[in-house]
Amino acid sequence: MHVVVNVDDLGLHPAVRRAVEDLAGLSRVSSATLLVNGPDAPAAASLSSTSRGSLGVGVHLNILRGRPESPAAEIPGLLRADGLFLGDYVALFKRYLARAFTPTDAEREWTRQVERALELGVTPTHLDSEKHIHVWPGLFEAACRVAARFHIGWVRRPVEHVPLSRWDKGGVRARILNTFALAHHRVGAPGVAHPSCVFGIADQGPELLPARLAAYMKRVRPDVLELVCHPGAPLPGDPPLPAEYGPMRIAGQWTPERDALAAPGWGRALRECGATLVHYGQLDPATRAPFAS
C-alpha cells in the first residue's frame, strides 16, 4: 500500500509554504499542489527544487478564485465583469449547470496553469483542483486530457469510502463528491492514473487523526491512497488572504491540521497497515508501484 499525503493550496499564502516545509521535514507530508495564481506561488515553487526528491509538487487547478492565466475574452463564462474568477462555488456551479462555460474553457485555462507551473520551475507530479471542482462531470475528463498532454501521470479522483451510517457534514461532503465521480468517463487519457481513494474529506481539522486513517486503510485496503490536507503555519505580520479570492474558510483549518499532522502516531499508523509514504512522482501510473530504480 502506498500513501500520498498532499497539502492543497501551496502558493496561496506563506503560512501554507511554512507548513509544507515543516511537515515534509518531519516526514508527515510527501506532496503538495501549487496554486499558480496565488500570491506566494513563486516562492512556494522553489520547494520542488529544494526538497531533494522527498516532496512531489503538482498543480492545484483553479477556475474559482483570483486572476486567470488566460485572456478574459477566451473564457468569459468563467469570469466576473472585472476579469476575475467568480470566487463563489455556488455561483460557479450554477454557471456550470447553465452551460455558461464548457469543459473546453476549463481545459484551456488549466493548460495555461500547468504551463505557468513549468515556467516557475515545477515538474508537476499530479493534478487536483480548488474545491475539487475538476470532479464535476465533463471537467474531470478535461483535467485528464491536460494531464495526458503534459505527461503527468496522476489526477486525483476524490472518492472517500464513508460508512453508510455516517451522515454528518463531513460524510455528506464526501458523498456529494462520490456522486459526481459516478459519472466520470476516463477513456481518452491513456497513461493517466488515479488513486484508489482519498482520506481527509470527511475528517478535517482536529478530526484528521492517525487512528482514523489506520482504521480506514484496514477497512478499504487501497493500493494507492491520497490523504488530502490543508495545514498552515501563520505568523504575526503575515498578509491577509487575497480579497480577490472571495470568502474562504480554509484559514480556520490551517493550525488545527498542522498540529494534527505534527502530532505523533502517523508513522505507526502506516506501519500497522504495511503502507509506505510516497509522492506521485515516485509511482509508475502503469503499474501503480514505485518506478524501478
Q: List C-alpha distances in Å: 267 to 51, 214, 271.
A: 20, 10, 6
Instruction: Give the predicted TM-score (pTM) of the model.
Output: 0.94
Domain 2-290 class in CATH = alpha beta
Unique residue bearing C-alpha cell 509511482: 283
The 10s digit of each residue's pLDDT in 84-100 is: 999 999 999 999 999 99
The 10s digit of each residue's pLDDT in 274-292 is: 999 999 999 999 999 999 8
Extended strands (E) in 121-223: 127-129, 197-199
CB within 8 Å of 54: residues ≥ 6 apart: 24, 27, 30, 279
Residues 99 and 276: their CA atoms lie apart, in Å, by 42
- Amino acid symbol at 172: V
Percent over 70 (pLDDT), the chain? 97
Q: Are strands 127-129 and 56-61 parallel, antiparallel or unpaired?
A: parallel
The 10s digit of each residue's pLDDT in 125-158 is: 999 999 999 999 999 999 999 999 999 999 999 9
Whether the per-residue pLDDT at 188 is higher than 70: the answer is no
